[in-house]
Structure 1
Amino acid sequence: MSLDDLRDQTFPLKTQDDWEVKAEESLKGKSIELLKSITYENIVLKPLYSRLDQKDVPDYPGGSDFRRGVYPLGYVTNDWRAAQRISYVTVGELKDKLHQAVEKGQTALSFEVSKALFETKGILDEILGDLPATFPFAVNSKGLQTAFLGALAEHKGANQVTGYVGNDPISMFAEEGMLSEDFLNEWLEEVKHANEKLPNLRTVLINTSTYHQGGANAVQELGIAAATGTFYLQQLLDSEVKLEEVLSKMIFQFSIGSNFFMELAKLRAARILWDKITKVYGAKVKYRGMQIAAETSSLTKTVYDPHVNILRAGNEAFAAVVGGVQYLHVTAFDDISGSSHLSERIARNTQNILKEEAHLQKVVDPAGGSWYVEALTTELAEKAWQYFQQIEAKGGILEVLKSGWLQDEIFSVYTERKQDIFTRKQSIIGTNVYANLAEAVAPDIEKTSDNYFRYASSTIKIKAITNTRISKPFEELRKISERIEVKLGNKPEIGMICLGELKQYKPRLDFMKGFLAAGGLTVAESDSITSLETAKQFIFNQDTKYFCLCGGNDQYELLGHEILAGLNQEFLDRIFYLAGLPENEQQPQWIKEGVKQFIHLKSNCYEVLSTILTDMEVALDEFTKA
């Protein structure tokens, strides 16, 4: 073939039908429907999106429904702010860390608010110095907002202070399990008065992180954001505050989870909802764009193998930026056990890398036009709008919290998430899969509610939404294992009765090692076992009473039944498991011969390990007492 002939070659056009034929060949004749998946939002994700899924979207960011962003040139002209929330022990430490942070890439003033900042007049002024003249605030001041705004109003150049020092009383009610309408009314008055001395500062925060950390899905988060935002908007309008003024005071906060495309679609859908709501109220276009502060999720972070949290946070931060946020906080990888200088630097530099090395501040709406992203955004917005209407039909955000309906809805999704983690349908690297039993970890710091309403008058008790982490149940199992290790002097273990040759039992042996490691259990591995006598000798030499048969299906039929039946008669106090799941008609025989449980890919890993470890600890405690 000549060079000219080669140059003239073309690839034939392929249709979706052609792709489906090839896909089904790869599936060996099974339906392509197997490649679809259903999310916690009850959205069906297809394996392929094409031009057939194309949606009508704005031609550019800043147009139409704002899904593509609130600024026509995106971050090119309006860069997102690195708002790393600084933790501290003393106000002196806060001052030092804050000034060091802005020298190393931080572009917003963000920190935890404590009473120590207001113990003496002028402390906050001393801490901040001239920083507010250059950097905007990004602060969730919670129950200390009044004190913070009061101190800030006395700061020189107060009328030039920008950013947000916000509070969301409703999210605080949900977190603490206490609702105070008196507090809410006082807060609304404070918001109105703050505008006089701090005209350029946003003070109304709609914080959905509380619900996200309780396990809510994206549809619920968006519906709650719309309902809460509408409630505050209506309350302030009823107090005779102008619509444009109210909208200029509002900012929304979202936590960003691990499902990359769902999370960036969530942020895009949020802007669609808010544009639709504010349009109904008659707001001009320039006031309808939603301002968003985001933080990487604490729901997804782990105590064990904490460095994996760097990757999780990086993925979440990437989704937040592509989704179009204005402020971003990246959680330090060891935040659960108390962040260090190194981890805080890594978290801050995650944003610097996205800006300076990934060049995301130079690309206008990188997700725009993607058939998958646009289809997902549209469906998510539609479902979230329906959920918002459902909340409103039940009386609004306060009423669904009072009745407990919203808390039950969120708990239902969390239960589904937890079940997927227990069965390892969803993986947590380093925790329920690929656990490292050699690592030593620092204890996690229990973060409790601030209890702002404990002594407040006129409160109503409601169900609280607990801030949790999906890895926590497995971490509790590891703690049981560690307690047993302290008492025994070695890690708790399960004996592996390996039937046949190495190549025959190794696949299931490896599976069992990974399965048991999720609970901190090690294995005592036998040599190749081909007879009842060698199996007996192995058990005699082990201290554990828990054993599992490992082998291929052929070895189970040739050796397994005879060996198990013999062992069960000889060792009445031992407990036997079988790696794998025999056919239904074969299971009764195995159970009759002594198998307590079959351990396989679809087993509830958490329940199996919890039963074993609890039994081990109870038996050890009884032995110690005796």
Structure 2
Amino acid sequence: MEKIKNQTFPSKTITEWKTIAETSLKGKTIEALDSITYENIILKPLYSLHDEQPVSVYPGGSDFRRGIYPLGYITNEWKIAQHLTYQTAEELEENFLHAFEKGQSAISFEVSKNLFETNKSFSNVIAKLFSQYPFAINAKDFQSGFLDLLKKIADREGSADKISGYIGSDPIAQFVEEEFISEEFFNEWVKNIQQSNEKFSNLQTILIDTVPYHNGGANAVQELGIAMAVGVYYLEKIQGTGMELEEILEKMIFQFAIGGNFFMEIAKLRAARVLWRRITDAYGVKGDACGMHIAAETSSFTKTVNDPYVNLLRAGNEAFAAVIGGVQYLHVNSFDNLTGSTLFSERIARNTQLLLKEEAHLKKVIDPAGGSWYVEELTNQLAEKAWRYFQQIEANSGILEVLKSNWLQRDIAAVYEKKNKDIQTRNHSIVGTNVYANLNEMVPEKKRLKKKPYFVGVDTSLIKIEAIPQRRLAEPFEELRIKANQLAKKTAGHLPLVGMICLGELKQHKARLDFMKGFLAAGGIKTQESMPILTVENARQFVSEQPFKYFCFCGTNDQYEMVGHEILTILIAEYPERIFYFAGLPEKEKQTQWKDEGIKQFIHIKSNCYEILAEILNDLEVSSVEETKA
């Protein structure tokens, strides 16, 4: 044991590591391991002491990248702010009592109109809770009514100073979702902020909500640049009401959605504080007012309807990143949120945060990411790119003008298209959706939210803009699965089928057969594989016995050349209505021959999975309609 303790290892240089790494790469350079993010940041395979960046000595100092409190969560734990579901005010009260008993630490729910219709019941619920717990609510267009209600309760009980947390609203985020900019609504919102400031000294009311941009497909640089632009816009507008600059800053809270790129999301939150400190410095503000307060929620953009239990892993990863990044409030979406959460799934979501606090001990560690070569380098690159993006918005006359001109919408849409292309070609995997799809699962119908537009018919100062669609990455493939299930209903419950012409013995065709099974399953299409096909007669018999239209050849390159051409030629001649695919990508000079012989398309690892599956399903849908008419 003593010998083991005293054992040392010789230090190695970066050059030596590169030499060994390039040997294992079989001739490729180490740069081949670089990857580029949607933020156009190049990620290296290794970060070392040479990448060390100067950082704050402690959290709560310098640029606030390490957090806004010197002792982090040891003295100021983040609040578990799960958005509770309910139907009535009475049910909301019951759910709150249960949730607080089980670890909830903030009053959080989606405000709805029916709560105000039962004003007395709702008042009773709020009156029982606000002196013990802070609020964590994005009230949207109900903010004014909510604050009026709180004023009545506070006047009745003389407890305005006990109301804390945030009941925020971001008019610009609402404009983005509802396709209109309303000057009248915005002016009323500014007045409401000013009035509530006089009444509620400990309540934050100015929300900068980047979630709609995130759900539209924005990258981290865009989210940060937009957050800064909106924050500056609100500073300028509200400052004219007579509120002091420090007062306005203390009323602000930023809301971010946390996506699936773990380290990028950590760096995003750290960079946000760096940027906001840079802005407050420009305004000449010093002290605690420069610190950015952050509310976060796990992303809905990354979640799926299919195989929903994988959402547990996604949400856990995102919640972990949020906490490491240093948030003050956190909501974790339940794994079945898209189809309607249950008490079980809501408990699991809440317990995710409790695990991070109690089992991962994150409430006991001050800035665990601090000093990481990779995280600090990523933070700096994000901050600089986002700063330039913010300046670009300002150079185009500010956040409202870039929305009116549709510049921002187009820029976010361009990033979404890149993400969507990676999903369609399966360069980016969504487990249970575009890879490892489970065709036997019973998928409940996605809940459809019908929100009545707030501004239409209410406001006369409307300016029409292009909305930023609220999307999810998995939706295109989910729509394919829906279409496949609809086709199955027309065929006695049988999902669409593609026949697999398996050339040679099992070991010769298995690799490509397995690839095709996974490829087709992403669109809800099953496979029917043949016995090992060694002769033309074997293939003819298999195809003649199957009622379906599509077939795919699976085998080795040698098998394709030995028997594939002959089999394809005969099958095309005898069954001209059948369509044949080819698993794999032949050498370029051989592709023309296969195409001339009748192969419709080569399916391989770089194929656009979505486009191929959509084409098959659309054709089958048309065929089923024609059969029905006949």
Within the alignment, does 1:529 sit opposite 2:528 as a pair? no
Is contact 1:162-1:202 (8 Å) kept?
yes
Identify the residue that residue 234 of structure 2 maps to in structure 1. 232
CA distance in 2, matches of 1:8, 1:286: 48
Identify the residue that residue 403 of structure 1 maps to in structure 2. 405
Within the alignment, does 1:38 sit opposite 2:36 as a pair? yes
Q: Given the two structures, how large is their TM-score scaled by the length of structure 2?
A: 0.98
| 1:401-440 alignment, distance < 5 Å | 401-440=403-442
Residues 540-578 of structure 1: CA distance to partner in whole angstroms, max 9, x if unpaired?
Answer: 110111000000001011111111111111110000000
Identify the residue that residue 247 of structure 1 maps to in structure 2. 249
CA distance in 2, matches of 1:493, 1:573: 16
Within the alignment, does 1:461 sit opposite 2:459 as a pair? no
3-state SS of 2:82 partner = coil
CA distance in 1, matches of 2:316, 2:575: 52
Is contact 2:305-2:443 (8 Å) kept?
yes
3-state SS of 1:202 partner = strand
Q: CA RMSD in A?
A: 1.1
CA distance in 1, matches of 2:122, 2:213: 31
| Deviation of 1:277 (Å) | 0.3
Within the alignment, does 1:85 sit opposite 2:88 as a pair? no
- List structure 1 segments (4+ residues) > 4 angstroms apart after TM superposition: 3-9
CA distance in 2, matches of 1:511, 1:252: 44
Within the alignment, does 1:123 sit opposite 2:126 as a pair? no
Is contact 1:175-1:449 (8 Å) kept?
no
Identify the residue that residue 391 of structure 1 maps to in structure 2. 393
| Deviation of 1:447 (Å) | 2.9
Instruction: Give ranges in structure 1 of 5+ residues lacking alignment.
Output: none
Residues 572-626 of structure 1: CA distance to partner in whole angstroms, max 9, x if unpaired?
Answer: 0000000000011100000011100000000000000000011001101110111
| Deviation of 1:56 (Å) | 0.8
3-state SS of 2:335 partner = coil
| Deviation of 1:63 (Å) | 0.8
3-state SS of 1:270 partner = helix
Within the alignment, does 1:49 sit opposite 2:36 as a pair? no
Change (3 A) 1:6 1:461: closer
Q: Structure 1 counterpart of 2:442, which letter?
A: A
Q: Structure 2 counterpart of 1:494, which letter?
A: V
CA distance in 1, matches of 2:5, 2:250: 58
Is contact 1:176-1:449 (8 Å) kept?
no
Q: Structure 1 counterpart of 2:64, which letter?
A: F
Q: Structure 2 counterpart of 1:440, which letter?
A: M
Is contact 1:431-1:475 (8 Å) kept?
yes
Within the alignment, does 1:71 sit opposite 2:73 as a pair? no
| Deviation of 1:8 (Å) | 5.3
Residues 386-440 of structure 1: CA distance to partner in whole angstroms, max 9, x if unpaired?
Answer: 0000000000000000100000010111111000000000000000000000000
Identify the residue that residue 97 of structure 2 maps to in structure 1. 99
Change (3 A) 1:449 1:415: farther
3-state SS of 1:126 partner = helix
Identify the residue that residue 612 of structure 1 maps to in structure 2. 616
| Deviation of 1:92 (Å) | 1.5
Identify the residue that residue 298 of structure 2 maps to in structure 1. 296
Residues 203-256 of structure 1: CA distance to partner in whole angstroms, max 9, x if unpaired?
Answer: 000000010011000000000000000000111112221011101100000000
Is contact 1:261-1:373 (8 Å) kept?
yes
Instruction: Give ranges in structure 2 of 5+ residues lacking alignment.
Output: none
Is contact 2:81-2:330 (8 Å) kept?
yes
| Deviation of 1:493 (Å) | 0.5
Is contact 1:122-1:151 (8 Å) kept?
no
CA distance in 1, matches of 2:474, 2:24: 35
Q: Would you say how many aligned residue pairs link Structure 1 and Structure 2?
A: 624
Identify the residue that residue 264 of structure 2 maps to in structure 1. 262
CA distance in 2, matches of 1:505, 1:268: 50
Is contact 2:51-2:377 (8 Å) kept?
yes
3-state SS of 1:562 partner = helix
Identify the residue that residue 489 of structure 2 maps to in structure 1. 486
Identify the residue that residue 170 of structure 1 maps to in structure 2. 172
Within the alignment, does 1:543 sit opposite 2:547 as a pair? yes
Is contact 1:124-1:151 (8 Å) kept?
no
| Deviation of 1:130 (Å) | 2.5
CA distance in 2, matches of 1:198, 1:584: 71
Q: Structure 2 counterpart of 1:96, which letter?
A: E
Is contact 2:406-2:465 (8 Å) kept?
yes
3-state SS of 1:299 partner = coil
| Deviation of 1:75 (Å) | 0.1
CA distance in 2, matches of 1:131, 1:7: 56
Percent identical residues: 60
Q: Structure 2 counterpart of 1:395, which letter?
A: S
| 1:14-33 alignment, distance < 5 Å | 14-33=12-31
3-state SS of 1:488 partner = coil
CA distance in 2, matches of 1:31, 1:120: 68
Q: Given the two structures, how large is their TM-score scaled by the length of structure 1?
A: 0.98
| Deviation of 1:129 (Å) | 3.5
Identify the residue that residue 350 of structure 2 maps to in structure 1. 348
Q: Structure 2 counterpart of 1:44, which letter?
A: I
Residues 85-126 of structure 1: CA distance to partner in whole angstroms, max 9, x if unpaired?
Answer: 112111211111111111110000000101122224433221
| Deviation of 1:450 (Å) | 4.4
Is contact 1:112-1:141 (8 Å) kept?
yes
| Deviation of 1:159 (Å) | 2.5
Identify the residue that residue 512 of structure 1 maps to in structure 2. 516
| Deviation of 1:128 (Å) | 2.1
Match of 1:140 among 138, 141, 146: 138
Is contact 1:497-1:548 (8 Å) kept?
yes
CA distance in 1, matches of 2:277, 2:357: 28
